[in-house]
Amino acid sequence: QVQLVESGGGLVQAGGSLRLSCAAFGFTFSRYVMGWFRQAPGKEREFVSAIRGTNSTYYVDSVKGRFTISRDNAKSTVYLQMNSLQPEDTAVYYCAATRYSVDYASLREYDYWGQGTQVTVSS
């Protein structure tokens, strides 16, 4: 059974850091593109970052230079290191997986989703 389990969210002050983790179960992790998305209250879910099995990485402009995505195929886990957090980063963060991706930023391309983890950044 496929499962994605996020952890690491929490409350942090502006300028602080958090590291999100997403553990994957039930599929061949190394063959999948892994993505992070977020959804703020009253807003649509949006792309944050993605990483291919080749370790090519992609970021939305608003997090470039602050967030770093990485993966450990041996542990079937993807990470999102978030530094210099700002109140506008407050959202529920979701991990997602897709076997084939042309547009890694498109929600519709992802087959599996986690339950989300809350990140709250206070000013």
> Average pLDDT of 68-81?
98
Please list, in sequence order, all residues whose beta carbon lies within 8 angstroms of the beta carbon of residue 22, skipping any fewer than 6 positions away.
4, 5, 6, 7, 34, 36, 77, 78, 79, 80, 95, 114
Please give the pLDDT value at position 105. Answer: 94
Instruction: Please check the confidence at residue 123 and state whether its pLDDT lies above 90.
Output: yes
The per-residue pLDDT for range 5-23, each reduced to its tens digit, is 999 999 999 999 999 999 9
- Tell me the pLDDT band of 100, cut-offs 50, 70 and 90: confident
For residue 93, which of 31, 29, 12, 2 has the smallest C-alpha distance? 12
